[in-house]
Amino acid sequence: MDSQIIIKIIVQIIIFYFLFGLFLYFNQTNMMFFPNSQVFNACENLDYTQKIKHNTTQLYYYQDKTNTNDLIIYYHGNAGAACDRFEIANKLKQNNISFILVEYAGYSGDKTKINQNNLNQNVHDVIDFTNSKNYKNIILGGTSLGSGFVSYHASLQTPHKIFLISPFDSLLNLAQSKYLLYPAKLLLKYEYDNIKNLQNYKNELIIFHGANDKIIPNKFSKNLFENLKTENKEYKLKKGLGHNNLHSDKLYNEIIKFIQK
């Protein structure tokens, strides 16, 4: 093959590499966050909750009158809306457990821009809201990307317990595994390092993960589990289940058992 043709091909590959890298950098928010058209105040499945806008953050808050000790704060995954998580909310309600479903910047009709600062502010707003309540036990739960919100929350306010569903060790590691040829550390605008944020956490924690998860392979949650310093930890690998079919009534019953023990 002619040397000029080889050089031309190499130049084209390099140009494509850099152009695709720019595409990844400037479009990562749209590639990570998938809010739907749900309107926050129009969530019929959670009509029994208080729909609250606290500072910049929208919250679905259910206050059980018979159990004033425990409050579950749940951070959902990157797709849809907090309203979609009514099944776990209903399970908590059935078991007389107060809860908050946290909605994110840019979700459920919120006009706030999705970025790291605004998402972090969501967590600060939740903490500020719960500080005005008198719950003895704050329990954090999160799914997928929501695990990053949980760990950040835990680094600011130590919870009584934590449950994580399909978590990762760090968003950086996960991103690097998806785009092997690119320096994720230089491109990634979002920092959710669950190992770092949970390094001082010593209370109870449980992780649930599907053995067939292709979106967040369970090796990432296993690495998180192995690096947690708390001795009060448990890992449950669910055979035959993936990322999107892990949630079930059976899983929620296990979570209730963990909360109530």
pLDDT digits (tens, 9 = 90+) for 184-229: 999 999 999 999 999 999 999 999 999 999 999 999 999 999 999 9
Does the pLDDT of residue 135 top 90, yes or no? yes
Task: State both tokens at 18.
Answer: 């850099």
Q: Same domain, yes or no, for 133 and 249? A: yes
Give residue-wise pLDDT tens across range 82-93: 999 999 999 999
CA-CA distance, 20 to 27, in Å (whole number)? 10
Q: Same domain, yes or no, for 50 and 151? A: yes
End-to-end CA distance of the chain: 71
Q: Same domain, yes or no, for 15 and 47? A: no
Summary mean pLDDT of the chain: 96
HSE toward the beta carbon, residue 23, CA cutoff 13 A: 7
The region of weakest confidence among 3-7, 15-19, 239-243 is 3-7
Q: What is the pLDDT of residue 10?
A: 85
Q: Same domain, yes or no, for 84 and 56? A: yes
CA-CA distance, 167 to 226, in Å (whole number)? 13
Domain that holds residue 190: 36-260
Q: With bands split at pLDDT 50, 70 and 90, how would you rate the model's confidence at 140?
A: very high
Write down the pTM of the prediction.
0.94
Q: Specify the number of domains making up the chain.
A: 2
Q: In the block, which residue shows the tokens 């979106």?
A: 215
For residue 63, which of 150, 124, 130, 141 has the smallest C-alpha distance?
Answer: 130
Q: Same domain, yes or no, for 146 and 41? A: yes
Distances (CA, A) of 69 to 64, 75, 134, 144, 151: 10, 20, 8, 27, 22
For residue 235, which of 209, 204, 261, 203 has the smallest C-alpha distance?
Answer: 209
Beta strand extents in the chain (DSSP E only): 34-35, 50-54, 57-62, 70-75, 79-80, 98-102, 137-143, 161-165, 204-210, 233-238
Q: Same domain, yes or no, for 110 and 24? A: no
Q: Same domain, yes or no, for 147 and 250? A: yes
